[in-house]
Structure formats: structure tokens, C-alpha cells
Amino acid sequence: MNVAILGTGYVGLTTGACLAYLGHDVVCVDSDPRKVEMLRQGKMPFFEPHLPELVADASEHLRFTTDYSQAIPAAQVVFIAVGTPPGTNGAPDLRYLESAARGVGEHLGGHFTVIVNKSTVPIGSGNWVESLVRDAFQKRNGSAPPGGTFAVASNPEFLREGSALADSLYPDRVVVGADNPQTSEVLYTLYRPILEQTFSAPAYLLRRDDTTAVPLISTDLASAELIKYAANAFLSLKISYINEIGQLAEKVGADITQVAKGIGLDARIGTRFLQAGIGWGGSCFGKDCMALVSTAGEYGLEMPIVEAAQKVNRRQRQRVVEKLLGELKILKGRTIAVLGLAFKPNTDDLRDAPAIEIAKRLIERGARVKAHDPVAMDSFRQHYPDSGVVCCETPEEAIQEADAVVLATEWPQYRELNWEQVAASMRSPILLDGRNVLDRARLTRAGFRYVGLAG
């Protein structure tokens, strides 16, 4: 099928590369000419494991442009995958969505086109996008689009940065929200190789033996839109729940790792997202929780559970600073090493990264912060030129002469550090394990005072 993707960010480019790999003809459109130029040269605008290989493998079916007229008229399916960053009052900023929808309306071809909201958009956006497309079409053509020209669907995205390609090729489920069967049928045809798992897997992204047919949830627009928000809010509150229990574990002398395991092995609960630590970050959880609360507010509803999840998450970041203060007594003039800047491993995404907020608070209190990240440092220098954080080429360099080190992102390479050697290079070997992933006994043997965030 002919597919257009609007936005070549984490979601758009992943979707485009996967669909092109499956044999669809995909044109990716981005309003940022620098990104498009990079992609044309085979360079990725962000870090995502195996993305360069997949884009290269799919290149026969994948093109990049800034020009809607090169993509929309021929497309049978148009995915809108532009950013929906937080706006004011908790509601997302929909200006990119609006401009994309208008662009689609101006360039619609003469055949039936399915316009898909893949961006995370507030409930009711399907209808809004439809009216924007209709208006733009009418302005450009002088008359309303004839019936059957287009339909709007919702197809929320559940990929995780760091494993975005596997999540897209082997998803837990595909959700499609549409208000007529013809639209659902088009998307079913598009996704059939994924739903039935009939494609041959790339050598670098092998299908797990237990991956079978992927469930399709075919529903109405509003339900699909709500599924995305409800899923992200649930994951957020699972993390906040274990962090709240972690605080109590610390008081009563319990080991939160064991507690989480003991809870999680109950199949009704599950072990994933029960890792106590600094809490969540990234471009989605905070923004989507805020948007859910904001949407509920429009209907006079409160969302106390989701609000509490946000509150606990904010408190975790503050606790890092308080713990360091407790250990060092005075932060002014101290040097703190922060390991990891990205909001999680295997990505260079810095949006709402806990490490950055923690570094900022430490600097505000007069500390000097030295930081390292395996892939996110260029992006950090570019986005935070005046942060005051000293970027170091190696973790050892960041830790040398530091008064304390904070593990903020659990990159696997940090577990493998020669901790004995780095402890010896510090002014005072204090380690705050913000992700509860390091071996307390081993670090203690290496000479560290190990400080956990919970228990």
C-alpha cells in the first residue's frame, strides 16, 4: 500500500521503517529540513538500536521529504506522528497536529484515504482532525470533500524507546479505533503481516519463539484514544506504587527488591514496572498523565489515583537531593558525578529525564555536577548549553575526585565499571543507586558507602 508518515521522530520513523520493511511504499514527511537531509544521507536524527540497519534494509520502499505534495496525494493511509508536547494547564500542545491535519486536507488525492492519528492525542481529537482536514480541503478546492474521500482513525502507539523496532514488529497488541468498517479494513490489510506474523524477521531483530499472531483491538475512536492514556497512566502508577512502598520499606528495614519480586510473581500483578528508583521520565508518562487529568477535568471529574502517581514521582527526584544532603551535610562546593542523562537506557531522549532535573537542583544548591552518558551527551550539550553540567567522556572521568556518584540511568555498562578503582579515585566514595540495580554487597566490598533510594 502507499503510506505517508508525518513526523520522523521516534514514532514516525520507526513506523515508516517497519512498514517499508514489510513492503509498503512509504514516504516520510518532516517539517524540519535538517532531519530530512540527514535521513536522505542515511544518518539517523536520534539514537535507537538497529534503526540504521532497518532503514537501510527498507530503503527500496522508503523516501523522505519536507513536501506534503510528494506524499499525501498518492497515499492510501496517512499516519500523523508529530509531537504533542505538554502545553499549558496540563493539556497537550496540539499545534503540530493541527498543522499536519491542515496539510493533509490541502493535498488529499481523489481516492479514499485513511488518516490515522498515531500521535497520542486527547480524546475527541479524531473528530477535530476530521474537521480540520475538511476545512483545509474546502479552502484549497472551493468545495467540501465528496463523501468517501477520507476517514479518520486512531491507532495509538505503544513502542518503548530503546526497543522501538521490536515493539513495532512484534507488538503485544494493535489497537485501531475507527467509526466505519471500510477504515478498519484498510488498516487490517496494512498491518496483516504483523498481525499474522508472516514476514521474515530481520537477522538483528529475531522473532521470539513464543511470538504468535498479534491480537487486534478494533474499536471506536474514543475508546482507542482512551486506551493509550489509560495504559500509560497505569504503567506510571505501577512505578509510583512500588516507589511509595519503597519509602515504607526503608523505614521498616525491608528490602524493596525482594518485596517487588514477592509482589510481582503473582501473575495478576506481574514483575515488570515494579522497579523502585528515581521514578519515570521521558516524553510520554508525565505528559499523558497530565493530559488524562486535564481531560477528566473538562468533564468535572477528578483523577486522584493518577494525580497521586505524579506526586510520588516528583518526590522521588527530590529524595535524591535530600539523600545526598543527608550524606554530605553540605552540598555547596561539593562535586557530584551523575551517571546517565537519558531518561532510560538505550535512548538519547532527554525529555523529562530525572538526571537533568536532579543535576539542576544540585547546581542550584551550589554543587558542581559532572556527568556522563554513553549516547546522549551530544544531544545534552545541544539542548542544555547553559546547564553548568560538566560533560565527561568517560564515567571514570566524571567520578574522579567526586564527593558522591549518582547512578541516574541504568545503562548496562555502568554495572560493569571497575568499582574498586573508581572508589579509590573519589574524594569520598558515596554511591547513590538511583535505579536499585547495583550489587550492594559488591559495592560495599569495593569501598563504597552504598545508598539506595528505597530500603
State the catalytic residues.
Answer: 284
Q: Which residue minimizes CB distance to ligand NAD?
A: 9
Residue type at 87 in one-letter notation: G
Output helix, strand, coil percentages for the chain, rounded to the nearest 5.
45, 15, 40
Query: Shortest Cβ distance from residue 247 to ligand NAD (Å)?
Result: 28
Q: How far is CA 124 from CA 12, 128, 224, 406, 454, in A?
A: 21, 7, 10, 42, 40
Backbone φ, ψ for residue 270 (5° rounding)? 85, 145
Nearest CB to ligand NAD, comparing residues 119 and 436: 119
DSSP class of 253: T
Query: Which is closer to ligand NAD, CB of 161 or CB of 352?
Result: 161
Cell (9 digits) for 277: 528508583
Residues that bind ligand NAD (CB under 6 A): 6-12, 29-32, 35, 81-84, 96, 99-100, 103, 119-120, 157, 159, 161, 283-284
CB-wise, 84 or 436, nearer to ligand NAD? 84
Give the nearer residue to ligand NAD in terms of CB position, either 9 or 177.
9
Name the residue nearer to ligand NAD (CB basis): 288 or 357.
288
Q: Which residues pair with 174 in a beta bridge?
A: 216
Least distance in Å: CB of 282 to ligand NAD?
A: 7
Q: From CA 141, how far away is CA 427, in angstroms rounded?
A: 71
- Minimum distance, C-beta of residue 160 to ligand NAD, in the bound complex (Å): 6
CA 5, CA 413: separation in Å to the nearest integer? Answer: 35
Q: How far apart are CA 394 and CA 374, in angstroms?
A: 8
CB 6, min distance to ligand NAD, A: 4
> What is the DSSP secondary structure assignment for residue 60, as one 8-state letter?
G
- Residue 155: CB minimum distance to ligand NAD, A: 11
- The strand order across the sheet containing 150-154 reads 62-65, 25-29, 2-6, 77-80, 113-117, 150-154, 174-177, 216-219
- Output the furthest CA–CA distance in the chain (Å, rounded): 77
- Which residue lies nearer to ligand NAD by CB, 31 or 197? 31
Buried-state track 330-364, b at ≥16 Cβ within 10 A, e below 16? ebeebbbbbbbbbbbbbbbbbbbbbbbbbbbbbbe
Residue type (1 letter), 59? S
Minimum distance from residue 171 beta carbon to ligand NAD (Å): 11
Assign 21 to helix, strand or coil: helix
Between 94 and 367, name the residue whose CB sits nearer to ligand NAD: 94
Nearest to 306 by CA among 369, 377, 232, 213: 232
Q: How far is the CB of 278 from ligand NAD (least distance, A)?
A: 18
